[in-house]
Amino acid sequence: MAAQRVLHVISSTMRAGVTIMVMNMYRAVNREKVQFDFIAHDLGDDDFGPVIEALGGRVFRLPFLSQAGMSGYVRLVREILQKNGPYAAVHAHTEYQAGFVALAAHQAGVPVRICHAHADTRYVRSPLFLLKKMLGRALIDRYATQRCAASTSAALSTFGARAVKAGQVLIVPNRIDVSAFGDRTPESRANLSAACNAGPDSLILGCVGRLSAEKNPGFVLDIDAAKQAGMDMRFAFAGTGNMLESLTERRSRMGLEDTVFFLGSRGDITSLMPCFDLLLVPSYTEGFCLAALEAQTAGTPVLASTGVPPEADMGLGLFFTLPLSASADAWAQKAADIIRTAARPDVETRHRTIRTRGFDSGADANGLLQLYGIS
């Protein structure tokens, strides 16, 4: 019997949090029973397209909702479903826009229509955005058969307090392959040090994720500029995005070329993450923060803004927060204090704790089959 197919709708196939999470699901699931196809939009590099095809999936490219228009977008999604199905389920990871996908899937006769929230966009107050969000939520309420979210914050943002209070949202952990994250090796640390012009006593602080406005990457440059004399720190960005050019220019204006480094999109996060002395997450808001989970799995402490939800703390003594209202100097000092005093639990303790909390992609990979109605 051929594997049944599920269509995932994601922002892009570039290396970013949601796409990484879905790919972790894809690698772990029993592909003899279920295969994934993807609708992806034209944003960033095609990091995962070849991987998807090698696993047996297909990628369909669409313009964004704002480019295609509401009715045009629904029509394009419906046509993909009708021409390439049948599909057992559609799983949309695009916040309020998932409502338009659910409508198209309903029109195409797909029985399981999942709308999955990953971001907290409550800080966005644009009247046009709020209008689109209200319409998307109305479509979700009418056409989705299941609401999922990465955290309570993401659930409240996309689905509203009423749906959360009524127990209509399933919290689905952002799972990773826990076994892939071990301790740093001398070779991998040496490679990172060379890329960051770091000496043997330098501290290397990482920032992992898209270089986009909500991630607030410019604050990392402020932290570098504000650090006290004698703090031998390097700051390494792993990821790319639409702010790369402006950040590079600002780095030059601030004279930080010797201490701030852009490593680009990386496929070796499992070996890179343990080599950081600290992960910085200065985001205005996060639906969950996959990078914080990866860091703690690797034994790397995290200093995050209070915009990161508490679900990201794995209880290992490696997760610390400061509000963005604190000065960049306060962040630099807090970072140095954490690096000096935080104890890294051993690999076995880290892996056991995170698996117990349900964040291992291999723990219940085929539980997805039940979510998709596949026996």
Domain CATH code at residue 90? 3.40.50.2000
pLDDT score, position 44: 66
What values do phi and psi take at 264, rounded to 5?
80, -175
Mark whether 241 and 321 lie in a shared domain.
yes
> Please, what's the b/e burial string for 292-325 (b: 16 or more CB within 10 A of its CB; e: otherwise)?
bbbbbbbbbbbbbbebbbebbbbebebbbbbeee
89: Cα within 13 Å, side-chain hemisphere: 24
The Cα 176–Cα 355 span in angstroms is 10
pLDDT score, position 349: 97
pLDDT score, position 364: 66
The Cα 99–Cα 215 span in angstroms is 25
The Cα 228–Cα 225 span in angstroms is 9
Question: Residue 125's domain spans which residues?
Answer: 4-175+360-371
Mark whether 76 and 188 lie in a shared domain.
no
For residue 341, what are its two tokens? 């005093």
Mark whether 124 and 266 lie in a shared domain.
no
For residue 180, what are its two tokens? 């892939």
Mark whether 158 and 221 lie in a shared domain.
no
Count how many domains the chain has: 2
User: What is the tens place of the pLDDT at every residue in 10-67?
Assistant: 988 888 888 988 998 898 888 999 999 999 987 667 788 999 999 999 999 999 898 9
Residue whose token pair is 């297909």: 58
Q: Are 283 and 307 in contact (CB under 8 A)?
A: yes
Mark whether 279 and 318 lie in a shared domain.
yes
For residue 309, what are its two tokens? 């939800």
Q: Average pLDDT by consecutive 10-residue portion of the chain (375 residues)?
A: 92 85 88 94 80 95 92 97 96 96 98 95 86 95 96 94 96 90 94 95 95 94 91 94 94 96 92 97 94 97 96 96 96 96 95 94 74 86
pLDDT score, position 265: 87
- The model's pTM is 0.89
Mark whether 167 and 211 lie in a shared domain.
no
DSSP secondary structure letter of residue 281 = E
How far, in whole angstroms, is CA 39 from its chain's centroid? 17
In 3-state terms, what secondary structure has residue 60? Answer: strand
CA–CA–CA angle 101, 104, 107 (5° rounding): 150
